[in-house]
Copies of this chain bind each other. A is one copy, B any other.
């Protein structure tokens, strides 16, 4: 499964012009998906990038592959933010991470529906780091002890819902919603009434979530 056409693989270095076109295409895709959603046509992306469709398809064998490359970029940045947050000494890492990653996602909203959808190793890595952040936050009593890491996954879907709805008009509205979520995560006398989602179920959720483009 460690296939080709991924990120900056060292399979064979691209010719200089080709490498530049690749970057132009990625940038154009971010912009176009952001403005029009994942249903935007590849023709439009090529136009914005200033290259032909043929060029796009040599670089990314399929529209999905292009989206996938973008998703990898976002996941990579997210993982980096989680790593940084782990180093926070006072148990605030989780909160910092949620704020930072949401802010980043707000600026790369185009392909968010696909973010957690794929079976990348990266998703697992991200989830493990987030779980670590949660443990640490509990240790410092900043987060209620009956909160699970699956709850955090749900919280990210939740933020995604808010982002998708509000982003074009109120680009900061998600911050207020995150306030509310974190308020709910604080330690409290009463436990949350319902049982948390099992990690097995969550795995299935992530494997299923929104086919949108895939089914063509």
Residues of A within 8 A of B (CB): 36-37, 39, 116, 147, 151, 154-155, 157-162, 164-166, 168-170, 172-173, 175-177, 179-186, 188, 190, 192-197, 201-202, 204-205, 208-212, 215
Q: With a CB–CB cut-off of 8 A, which chain B residues contact A184?
A: 179-185
B161 touching A157 by the CB < 8 A rule?
Answer: yes
Q: With a CB–CB cut-off of 8 A, which chain B residues contact A168?
A: 208
A210 touching B180 by the CB < 8 A rule?
Answer: no
- Closest beta carbon of chain B to A57's beta carbon, Å: 23
- A113–B51 Cα distance when bound, in Å, is 34
- A182–B184 Cα distance when bound, in Å, is 7
Q: With a CB–CB cut-off of 8 A, which chain B residues contact A159?
A: 158, 161
- A204–B169 Cα distance when bound, in Å, is 7
B180 touching A151 by the CB < 8 A rule?
Answer: yes
Q: With a CB–CB cut-off of 8 A, which chain B residues contact A162?
A: 154, 157-158, 161
- A164–B162 Cα distance when bound, in Å, is 12
B157 touching A176 by the CB < 8 A rule?
Answer: no
Q: What are 25 A-B pairs at a CB distance below 8 A?
A: A37-B210, A37-B211, A39-B212, A151-B176, A151-B177, A154-B162, A154-B173, A154-B176, A158-B162, A160-B165, A161-B164, A165-B210, A169-B204, A169-B205, A170-B202, A170-B205, A172-B194, A173-B201, A175-B193, A176-B197, A179-B184, A180-B192, A182-B184, A183-B184, A183-B185
